[in-house]
Chain A
């Protein structure tokens, strides 16, 4: 059986003037995989991610995301992926219901589809009491769970999550990861960045970026063996400290 590739990156590079933010990185992500994209602040993760989601043009190199080329088909990529970040996910001054309707519309869902999706989300996440509340009034954990579901409204092939659990309480953080597992289990590829190293252990594969390059890429188990470390935190400290 042939395994499908969701993301295929080959020698991807991004330079800003004389500074190379992303330096000839290459990797593959399989369909339905949870791929952890780790690295220290300033290592180039965000720049790399921006190229993969079609909002930044590479200086050189290639990447295919959900079957589309980042250099020539960035608009098709945007339609076929979901994205959420810690910094921006939902509109604070719209209600939960309005956010779902708004993003559903952006993703081109019909009114009927939006209505069905909305009922489904309300049911699954237990939003009955808060569906008409402004997003600004909700705890961060709730916002992030809803934002993740909104990023999946159009059944994207891949979802990109940029530090989705930063600052979230430990129980909600785990509920969030159960949602990630469920999503991956249904065949959606999950590309996720995090600073919680216990979360790195939840990933099928983990890559670690250091100064614009991918210095390690494997399953958490093999990375721990390779770096003779007992936890992913130790692997990270060994690598990023040089």
Chain B
């Protein structure tokens, strides 16, 4: 196991941030921690990277204990925090050299690992880090977290606030790193990114809701979901919410995902009801559950 977490709890001034968290990440795995802002993701990262001590529980990272062996962990992991934390007044190259030096290595020695990413920012190597665009900063931060060839890489919300194109590219980079044998724990609030991970943990309010592969997680969703569409989205949502048999009503792109409380639900009844509410061009079709549906059901 690369990461093993056993009953970790942490609270701040009486406010619980993590409640009895347990999970394992296998060697070479790309493991996703999926949950909204405030779920406890960053606290968990800070505990595993030995920056915080938990109130209860134990954890090991690359077989080192997070409390007793904290120095060994620091030498063996890379951490890319959610907030840009490189030196803004050092240049791109200076930042990278700095991180290589404090880990007792050189850029040349591990260049192979960062090459793909570094070539994209190399044209700006003499620019100060504070003057880089968001995407560039992110790539530099990743290079700095990798320069000592860590066994495990911790990435805390690397794609938050990043546009869909750059997000896709970033995950492709992570996939390539995985092929080079690096174990990764990545957190994100974007549910669509979960599908790229080998396994994911859904986390909310400091608790793990579910841990499994993305494919299996959606199978845990037991209800039949219908894609409902009509000419007026706002009226549609309002009407579905006031329908007495509704179990859940969530807008989902161009559709509304609807589930019913009855086991013998017939879409025709719903069609009649919506027609009576003056909606037009109504369509109701069965659809597959997504990770987001599962998350909302578990978090309900």
Q: In the complex the two chains form, is B38's CB within 8 Å of A171's CB? A: no
Among A174, A185, A233, which residue has the most Cβ atoms of chain B within 10 A? A174
Tell me which residues from 170 to 199 in chain B have a Cβ below 8 Å from any Cβ of chain A.
Answer: 189-192
Q: In the complex the two chains form, is B253's CB within 8 Å of A198's CB? A: yes
Cβ-closest chain A residue relative to B15: A137
A140 and B190 CA atoms in complex are apart in Å by 15
A169 and B39 CA atoms in complex are apart in Å by 9
Cβ-closest chain B residue relative to A196: B190
A167-B189, A168-B37, A181-B237 given; A201·B166 CB < 8 A: no
B275 to chain A minimum Cβ distance, whole angstroms, is 20
| A54 at the B interface (CB under 8 A) | no
Q: In the complex the two chains form, is A42's CB within 8 Å of B164's CB? A: no
Among B233, B252, B300, which residue has the most Cβ atoms of chain A within 10 A? B233
Q: In the complex the two chains form, is B254's CB within 8 Å of A220's CB? A: yes
B161 to chain A minimum Cβ distance, whole angstroms, is 5
Annotate B153-169 by CB proximity to A: 1 below 8 A, 0 otherwise.
00001001111111110
Q: In the complex the two chains form, is A167's CB within 8 Å of B160's CB? A: yes
Complex interface: chain B residues within 8 A of A43 (CB): 163
Q: In the complex the two chains form, is A201's CB within 8 Å of B163's CB? A: no
B128 to chain A minimum Cβ distance, whole angstroms, is 17
B134 to chain A minimum Cβ distance, whole angstroms, is 5
Cβ-closest chain A residue relative to B248: A171
Q: In the complex the two chains form, is B134's CB within 8 Å of A41's CB? A: yes
A40-B166, A42-B134 given; A163·B251 CB < 8 A: no
Q: In the complex, how many residues of chain A place their beta carbon closer than 8 angstroms to a beta carbon of chain B? A: 39
Q: In the complex, how many residues of chain B place their beta carbon closer than 8 angstroms to a beta carbon of chain A? A: 36
A177 and B190 CA atoms in complex are apart in Å by 17
Q: In the complex the two chains form, is B163's CB within 8 Å of A195's CB? A: yes
Complex interface: chain B residues within 8 A of A41 (CB): 133-135, 161-163, 166
| A126 at the B interface (CB under 8 A) | no
A213 to chain B minimum Cβ distance, whole angstroms, is 16
Q: In the complex the two chains form, is A198's CB within 8 Å of B252's CB? A: yes
| A44 at the B interface (CB under 8 A) | no
Q: In the complex the two chains form, is A174's CB within 8 Å of B135's CB? A: no
Complex interface: chain A residues within 8 A of B254 (CB): 201, 220-221
A43 and B250 CA atoms in complex are apart in Å by 31
B284 to chain A minimum Cβ distance, whole angstroms, is 18
| A202 at the B interface (CB under 8 A) | yes
Q: List 20 A-B contacts (CB under 8 A).
A: A39-B163, A40-B163, A41-B134, A41-B135, A41-B161, A42-B134, A42-B135, A86-B161, A167-B160, A169-B36, A170-B191, A170-B296, A170-B299, A178-B234, A181-B233, A184-B234, A202-B251, A202-B253, A233-B164, A236-B165
B contacts, CB < 8 Å to A: 35-39, 133-135, 157, 160-168, 189-192, 204, 233-234, 237, 250-254, 292, 295-296, 299-300
